[in-house]
Amino acid sequence: MRILVFGENGQVARALQTLGGGAAIALGRGAADLMNAGAAAAAIHANRPDVVINAAAYTAVDKAESDVDAARRLNADAPAEMAEAAAKLSLPFLHISTDYVFDGMQEGKLSETAPANPLNQYGATKLAGENAVMQAHPDAVILRTSWVFSETGANFVKTMLRLSETRDDLNIVADQTGGPTDAADIAAALLAIAGKKHRGAPGAGLYHFQGSPTVSWAGFAEKIFELAGKPVKVSHINTEDYPTPAQRPLNTALDCARIERDFGVAQPDWRIGLRRVIAALNNEGRDR
């Protein structure tokens, strides 16, 4: 099975390359500049894979507020082109979306049928991408995930560890709750689904996949420092005490039952992934 992955250096794309081995062909901007209309479709037709996975996105949440055209191009227009090309070739198409399609006002866990109402341009462009993908390729699989972390790229875990080198007290938002998700777990889920879709398995549309248990950003930070052995005090603050250009949802705990029911993909424990990532970062530091 040959898998064409859009995105080369993102956290999930890199994890797909590691776990997928030679089966995963990752395309970066040099091979397929998604800002250019037609580039994605041309790459799919040229490579003729068995499955297409879109792991590319505009993920700078705050910057998207003022860079809407670029966010829309990468998060909505390009995925629609991929989906259309994959559908024409009868190829399975998997696309990554986000918990930020929700406004976070609901209580409890959010199912795939919960009403989407994004609070920021990032979430709005990702929601537009979801709708465009499903219109172009009704058999596509869209994986909504959240709070992605890994040993590569820029993410909350690496930021906290960097700050711990010079700070012993940090103010972290405690009223936003969700699920941290190891990029390696997302990649493993995508590869499992890709294999089943390649073999003709049913199941399409929206699926939720995030780490468990639900936690706040402050609670996540405390666990990072605990596992890393960093004596940093975390002071809990509210969202209103840390203003940002883009508004964030308060509750994005996702109900992940459907993905396990349809594809046998269980919800992972993010604490296990966090231990792995911290160990990898420690090993990387020793190798320098």
Residues with catalytic annotation? 122
Hey, is 269 helix, strand or coil? strand
Q: Give CA–CA dist 137/130, Å, rounded.
A: 10
> How many whole angstroms from its chain centre is CA 182?
9
Full DSSP string of 228-266 = HT---EEEEE-GGGS--SS---SB-PBP-HHHHHHH--P
DSSP structure class, residue 116 = P
Q: Which residue type sits at 12? A: V
Do 94 and 140 form a contact (C-beta atoms < 8 A)?
yes
Q: Which residue has the tokens 């499955």?
A: 51
Do 170 and 233 form a contact (C-beta atoms < 8 A)?
yes
SS3 letters across 171-212? EEECCCEECCEEHHHHHHHHHHHHHHHHCCCCCCEEEECCCE
